[in-house]
Amino acid sequence: MKAIKRTERDSHGEIEVDANRLWGAQTERSRRNFKISYMKMPSEIISALTYIKKACAIANCKLGKLSKEKAEAVISACEDIIQDKYPDEFPLSVWQTGSGTQTNMNVNEVIAHIGAKEKLHPNDDVNMSQSSNDTFPSAICISGVIAVKKVMEACNALEASLNKLAEKSKGIIKIGRTHYQDAVPLYFSDEISAWRYDILKPVSMLEDAISHLSYLAIGGTAVGSGLNAPHNFDKEVCRVLSEELGHSFLPDENKFHALSSKDAVVFAHGALKALAANLFKIATDIRFLSSGPRCGIGELSIPENEPGSSIMPGKVNPTQCEALSMICVQVMGNDTAIGIAASQGHLELNVFMPLIAYNFLQSCNLLCDSIKSFTEKCVDGIRINRERVQSNLDNSLMLVTALKEVIGYEKAAEIAHHAHRNGITLRESALQLGLCDAQTFDKYVRADKMV
């Protein structure tokens, strides 16, 4: 059965569109011209643009540019989109014009069609006092703030889980390791405290990043001059957005900078990369400490969530650590792409914005989901193997460090090497070599006095 078509028009002329679709000519042209990959413009960008359209309609009405009837039609249509009533009306690829103009027009056209009884024009009414060049970067910032807050919530839950693990481990002394080699002892809770701060520090960086993302390009229109936007339009739009989203958004003080520079996004994603680097460290530490279960370090036991091998029966792998690690690598790759893209703000506009938006939001979503999974499916279920911890501690040669201040570095090193070569304890080595008597050894070589 042949699909029913309708004719739409734009400045390039007529084009046929599926009659069941709510988009118009410009969306259809982009859909046909950019059949590139499965990657669609993120729904977070569509949502942010819709909030912007609603706020702009309210501001334009208040400032006397848009009639009350048309403003109400735009607002009603935006609310329907925000409630996800039209999820299939935003089909465009990420790989389109670098300004995001076609997605901006996609949103404009859908709003205009939903509110057709008021005869809304996508450019003249829905896009009034705006340009893609100020709405799209504003949408990146708005969606970025929302996404970063979700990452922070996930981080807070992980930090709380690590804190519980630290409480469980209080008083347990373990051998430390540097360069993958035995080092001096420390409390297990101190080692875990590093993991906690690996989360807390980037979260504080993300808080700073949100403050930079809160300045919007809206009101700059095409090149930053604000052509066709009424006085105080930017302030009024930001006021409405702040009320709608429960976060304080402000007009960027220099719109020329806001259109051409993406430094706030680079800064924010840098904090996400810092978080990813630290998460990679935590995941790797847990993998090492839980290695075994019999032929590795084995100081931790992680939840046995699923079989780990298709050939080795009973094998269990650190799958949550591995999934998180892969995501951390993806975030680091995204950071490189965002940094290069942000450097391309030639003259009055950066035209790598869809890439920046996609990669930034992908990083946030991946981190948010993986942190939740890692917390619930791994960290919450970690157990400390006290007997293995004690055995490794007792077997360590680096406890000899406590003798350094008594007999000197060279003699202490001789005791350690002799013990290792002959497969004996430090105490036996010290007595055999005559470098330390039993009373002195027992007085100083005590792990509880070394932490």
Nearest C-alpha neighbor of 185 from the set 402, 420, 429, 440: 402
Among candidate residues 67, 309, 346, 420, the one labeled active-site is: 309
- Cβ proximity of 441 and 430 under 8 Å: yes
Among candidate residues 11, 37, 179, 310, the one labeled active-site is: 179
Residue 339, SS3 per DSSP: helix
> Using alpha carbons only, what angle is made at residue 219 by residues 217 and 221, rounded to the nearest 5 degrees?
90
Distance CA 181, CA 179 (A): 5
Distance CA 233, CA 239 (A): 10
Nearest C-alpha neighbor of 300 from the set 281, 278, 285, 315: 285
β-bridge mates for residue 383, sequence order: 301
DSSP per residue, 257-285: HHHH--HHHHHHHHHHHHHHHHHHHHHHH
DSSP 214: T
Residue 12 annotated in active site: no
Helices (H), 318-379: 319-342, 353-377
Distance CA 87, CA 43 (A): 8
- Cβ proximity of 259 and 223 under 8 Å: yes
Cβ neighbour number for residue 224 with a 10 Å cutoff: 22
Residue 411, SS3 per DSSP: helix
CA 75 to chain centre: 31
Distance CA 114, CA 414 (A): 83
Q: What token pair was written down for 352?
A: 């790598």
Distance CA 125, CA 215 (A): 25
Residue 147, SS3 per DSSP: helix
Residue 309 annotated in active site: yes
What positions carry a catalytic annotation?
179, 309
